Structures are given as C-alpha cells and as structure tokens.
Chains A and B, each alone.
Chain A
C-alpha cells in the first residue's frame, strides 16, 4: 500500500513570496490533515478535510494560508505572502475512519519550508 505522498520535499523562498504544497493521501482515506511543525515543537493542526469539505480550520491563518481538496483526494496548501515565521515542516496526514485502525493517522514525509 502506497503511503502519503507530498511534494516538494524542500522549498526556499523569500518573505512575501508565495508557495504551494501538494499532498496525495493513502487511497481510500476520507480524512486529510495539514499540520505545521516548527523546529522543536510537536505538529500543530492547520486544517482538516473530510472528503472535500473543511471540518476544522480554526488554526489556519486565513489571511495568508489557504487549502483545498478537490474531488476529495489530492490537496494543496498555499501560503501567500509568506512570512519568516512560516519556516517549518508542513506535514500531510490521512486517516481511513473505518475499522479497528480507523483512528490512526499516517503522515507523509513533509515539506520543509525556509523563508528568508
């Protein structure tokens, strides 16, 4: 079974530029999450999708961050314009929902963003 795919793995941009990250979850996983992990901290949820609908974006800085999940599969997360404090690893995770292991979230390799 293929895991959660993310791209790019690394991105370096200057502040005020825009950037986009892509995620392809495990096939059949209805729930998709974007987390931000700042160095030395645990991941923090930015946005959560159930199929193609947003169920939690309470921690998403909506003035600069946006995300979509078209057709309930792939998702993109965009930052425009980026700030220095956005430097972090952006992790995508997915969850099946059903079955004994339905609560388990599987993480992609992440995108490491450096804002200069």
Chain B
C-alpha cells in the first residue's frame, strides 16, 4: 500500500462545476495535510493546508479531512479553465517533515 494514494485521473469537469479531488493516506498518526497545485512544466504551489478534522475553506477551495477514515479531499467550486493542473496531496513524515506526495490527480476544466 502506498503511503499517499490519489486517483491519477484525468478528472474532466465543465467550467462552473465542482471538482472533487480525493486522497487517502496510510499513517494513522499523520497530523497535517497539504494540497499543492502543479501546472505543466512548473513547480508545485501550495494552495491549502489542513490540520483538523472537518472543512477548511479558502475562496473557491475547500479542504476536507476525516482522520478516522484517513481521507482528505479538495473541492474546487466554480471551476475555471485556469484550474486545469495536477493536484498533489502531501503528508509530512518524520521529525523534519519531509513530504510524502501522492502521484497527483490531473484536472481538466473544459469551457
């Protein structure tokens, strides 16, 4: 079992729809979770972090965490073509918090 698992996609949604990206993790002791967005040929950019069970909203983005189910998700409301990218889920590991990344989910928002 991989430490962080994501559906590779592509996930195709129409403009204006809600995109739902999912991530599961294996270490029940994980405390913090990050969502990075990576445009093609670019470096990862942090868009959301979440530390507590429940929802965290930031603009059109909502992160949801369920530690009991070892599940974290990212919702993107009113999806725009500019949201088309790969979304990486990352979980810190070890004393100096190296990030364990999932393989990423490719999102395509079509007009």
Contact = CB atoms under 8 A, between A and B. Distances in A.
Interface of A: 31, 33, 35, 40-45, 48, 50, 55-56, 91, 93, 95, 103-110, 112
Interface stretch (B39-47, B57-65, B67-75): B39-47
Nearest to B104: A42
A55 B101 contact: no
Given A107-B45, A108-B43, A110-B43, A48 B98 contact: yes
Contact of A42 (B43, B88, B92, B97): B88
Contacts of B42: 109
Determine the interface band of chain B, counting residues with CB < 8 A from chain A. Answer: 20 to 34
Given A43-B44, A109-B42, A56 B99 contact: no
B43 A107 contact: yes
A109 B39 CA distance: 11
A45 B104 CA distance: 15
A91 B44 contact: yes
A109 B43 contact: yes
Interface centre among A42, A56, A91, A105 (most CB of B within 10 A): A42
A45 B99 contact: yes
